[in-house]
Amino acid sequence: MRVLVTGGAGFIGSQIVSALDRVGHEPVVLDALLPSAHSTAPADLPAPFVRGDVRDPDALAHALAGVDAVCHQAAMVGLGKDFADAPAYVSCNDLGTAVLLAAMAEAGVHDLVLASSMVVYGEGRYLCVRHGVVRPGPRSVEALDEGRFEPPCPSCGAPLEPGLVGEDAPLDPRNVYAATKLQQEFLAAAWARATGGRVTALRYHNVYGPGMPRDTPYAGVASFFRSALAAGRAPRVFEDGLQRRDFVHVRDVAGANVVALAAVRDRAAGSLRAYNCGSGEPHTIGETAAALAAAHGGPEPVVTSEYRLGDVRHVTADSSRLRAELGWKPEVGFAQGMREFARAQQR
């Protein structure tokens, strides 16, 4: 199968390209090589390369020639610097997706694997002993300034127990990036209904691993920690370090894309199916910083009590649907992956 990978020179995209090549597919890469992500394509990329932006219909027409399916990875990622980034996020992520989908319709390409994100949920799943499963609202500046990081029950104010969030949970994006990722899903679903297309949306949790970009405000928290260690600085852990995430290795995410491509043609025409893509092993941000620091040889992390508005407290994945329906399972455990990442090269 000939597969176009948008953003295929990037951190996740390049791993998907390699995984597709290993199993006998014919990947094609479209990447704008934006300086905020990377300025050059990997030298060993095993695929034809088209330099172009997903917002450019001419570049897309060239890249889609003879293509059977698309893995759409191209996006502006992370929380960014401030709200001034909003137009760039909407342009790259939502306008880019709309232009891509229109070009796919024109080219007669009906199968799409979409890189979505766990950020579409906002906060994760919480249980109150009195009120059952609840959805806490955004945390206030006053509470964060006072170090009250845990969201209380919105009904009684009691402490909550975080759990795993499933794909049927309410969608509640809490920042600009999150809003654009949810809009990508809505656009893809509308495209599928209008064209008879088939979409698998993989909601990535915290992806990490070799080749992660460094020294950029748009990278993930694992990259921030790794960049600090490489520079001889202590990783700075925001809040109290007890916020929970699901760190999934980039090679496992690439594998999820391969199985999603194999299964997407079995989808009913005009449909979108979403899957959480996480390791199933929740860990705190503090644990993650400590594991990287220990594997790197220090310095030890510093817990700062700083916070970022728009961050959520706990969000961890229930990835059982992806395992049960597509037969995927992660291969790289947390300890192994963090040891590797602590010494791996970054971009």
Strands (E), 10-156: 26-31, 49-51, 69-72, 111-117, 125-128, 132-134
Q: Which two tokens stand for residue 253?
A: 């995410």
Task: Say if CB 225 and CB 301 are below 8 A apart.
Answer: yes
H or E, element range at 58:
helix 57-63
Which residues are bridge partners to 71 per DSSP? 5, 113
What is the C-alpha end-to-end distance of the chain, expressed in Å? 30
Residues 6+ positions from 148 with CB-CB distance below 8 Å: none
Q: How far apart are CA 63 and CA 30, in angstroms?
A: 7
Which of 324, 333, 308 minimizes the C-alpha distance to 80? 308
Residues taking part in catalysis: 177
SS3 35: coil
H or E, element range at 11:
helix 11-22
Residues 6+ positions from 186 with CB-CB distance below 8 Å: none
Give 257's DSSP letter.
Answer: H
What's the maximum distance between 2 C-alpha atoms anywhere in the chain? 58
